[in-house]
Amino acid sequence: MAKKGNKDELNLPLDEVPSENEDELNSSMTSTGSEEGQDIKKRRTQTPSPRRASPFSVPASPPKFISMEELIKATTGVKNMSLAHEIAVDANFKIAPAEKDPKSFEKQVEMIMHKAFWDVFQESISEDPPNYSHALVLIGDVQKQLFSVILPHQVRLKAQITEVLDLDLIKQKMENDAFDLFYYANYVINIMAKLCSPERDERVAHLREIKEPVPLFKEIFQVLDLMKMDMANFTIQQIRPYLQQQSVEYERTKFLQFIKAQQEAGVDGLEMTKLWLKRSFDALTDQADTDQQAGATPSLTPASVLNEAYTELLNWDRQRLYPETLVMDQSRFMDLQDKTGRLTLVASILLVTYSTVGAAISGVQDLKKKLKSEICVILEGVADSDLNDKMTNVAEQINKTVREYMPEHGFKEWGTDQQAMLTGQIKQVSSHDHPVYKLVAKRLKEFIKQIISKKHTQPLQMPVGFSVVEEELGQVCGQFLRLISYNRSVFFEYYSDIINTLLQWRTEDLSPRG
Collapse the DSSP code of 10 into the 3-class scheme (helix H, G, I; strand E, B; otherwise coil) and give the result. strand
Sign of CA dihedral 345, 346, 349, 352: negative
User: Which residue pairs, CB below 8 angstroms and at least 24 apart, start in 428-431?
Assistant: 429/345, 429/348, 429/349, 429/352, 430/345, 430/387, 430/388, 430/391
Sign of CA dihedral 223, 226, 232, 233: negative
Cα 298 from Cα 284, distance rounded (Å):
9
Instruction: Using the 3D structure, point to which of 221, 238, 255 is the last residue of a domain.
Output: 238
Per the DSSP assignment, residues forming a β-bridge with 10 are: 460
Whether residue 284 lies inside any domain: the answer is no
Closest C-alpha to 233, from 86, 42, 354: 86
Same domain, 501 and 379: yes
Same domain, 340 and 467: yes
Whether residue 175 lies inside any domain: the answer is yes
What residues contact residue 338 under an 8 Å CB cut-off, 6+ apart? none
Same domain, 19 and 123: no
Instruction: Using the 3D structure, point to which of 214, 238, 262 is the last residue of a domain.
Output: 238
Cα 140 from Cα 148, distance rounded (Å):
13
Instruction: Using the 3D structure, point to which of 207, 238, 269 is the last residue of a domain.
Output: 238
Cα 297 from Cα 295, distance rounded (Å):
7
The verdict on whether omega for the bond into residue 63 sits within 30 degrees of 0, i.e. cis, is no
Other CB atoms within a 10 A radius of the CB of residue 472 amount to 18
Cα 265 from Cα 67, distance rounded (Å):
9
Collapse the DSSP code of 460 into the 3-class scheme (helix H, G, I; strand E, B; otherwise coil) and give the result. strand
| 12 alpha-carbon distance from chain centroid | 18
Q: Quick one: DSSP state of residue 322?
A: P
- HEC profile for 54-122? CCCCCCCCCCCCCCHHHHHHHHHHHHHHHHHHHHHHCCCCCCCCCCCCCCCHHHHHHHHHHHHHHHHHH
Amino acid at 357: V
Same domain, 118 and 25: no
Amino acid at 453: S
Same domain, 18 and 120: no
> Quick one: pLDDT at residue 383?
80
User: Where in the sequence is the domain holding 164, given as residue range(s)?
Assistant: 105-238
What does the DSSP assignment read for 154-189? -HHHHHHHHHHT-HHHHHHHHHTT---HHHHHHHHH
Cβ(270)–Cβ(54) under 8 Å? Answer: no
Sign of CA dihedral 180, 183, 188, 189: positive
Collapse the DSSP code of 483 into the 3-class scheme (helix H, G, I; strand E, B; otherwise coil) and give the result. helix
Per the DSSP assignment, residues forming a β-bridge with 460 are: 10
Q: Residue 16 class from Cβ within 10 Å (0-12 exposed, 13-18 middle, 19+ buried)?
A: exposed
Same domain, 17 and 159: no
Same domain, 128 and 229: yes
Cα 466 from Cα 97, distance rounded (Å):
40
Closest C-alpha to 454, from 50, 18, 66, 49: 18
Whether residue 78 lies inside any domain: the answer is no
> Quick one: pLDDT at residue 62?
44
> Quick one: pLDDT at residue 457?
60
> Quick one: pLDDT at residue 91?
67
| 60 alpha-carbon distance from chain centroid | 34
Same domain, 496 and 353: yes
Other CB atoms within a 10 A radius of the CB of residue 43 amount to 17
Number of separate domains in the chain: 2
Q: Residue 395 class from Cβ within 10 Å (0-12 exposed, 13-18 middle, 19+ buried)?
A: buried
Closest C-alpha to 478, from 447, 445, 451, 454: 451
Whether residue 481 lies inside any domain: the answer is yes
Cβ(305)–Cβ(284) under 8 Å? Answer: yes
Same domain, 379 and 490: yes
Whether residue 48 lies inside any domain: the answer is no
pTM comes to 0.64
Whether residue 300 lies inside any domain: the answer is no
What residues contact residue 15 under an 8 Å CB cut-off, 6+ apart? none
Same domain, 343 and 466: yes
> Quick one: pLDDT at residue 36?
41
Whether residue 58 lies inside any domain: the answer is no
Same domain, 204 and 345: no
> Quick one: pLDDT at residue 249?
85
Q: At what angle do helices 365-379 and 330-357 cross, to 10 degrees?
A: 130
Cβ(170)–Cβ(136) under 8 Å? Answer: yes
Whether residue 473 lies inside any domain: the answer is yes
Same domain, 485 and 381: yes
Q: Residue 154 class from Cβ within 10 Å (0-12 exposed, 13-18 middle, 19+ buried)?
A: middle
| Strand pairing class (9-10; 460-461) | antiparallel
pLDDT in tens, the chain (514 residues): 444 444 455 555 443 444 455 566 665 544 444 444 444 334 333 433 444 456 765 434 444 444 445 444 544 555 566 666 777 677 677 777 666 667 777 778 778 888 888 888 899 888 888 898 889 999 999 999 999 888 888 899 999 999 999 999 999 999 888 999 999 999 999 999 999 989 899 999 999 999 999 999 999 999 999 999 888 888 877 777 777 677 788 888 888 988 888 888 888 889 999 999 999 999 898 887 776 666 555 567 888 899 999 999 999 999 999 999 999 899 999 999 999 999 999 999 999 998 888 877 776 778 888 999 999 999 988 887 778 888 989 999 999 998 888 887 778 888 888 889 999 999 999 888 999 999 999 999 989 988 888 665 667 788 888 988 888 998 899 889 989 988 998 999 999 999 999 988 877 666 555 4
> Quick one: pLDDT at residue 46?
41
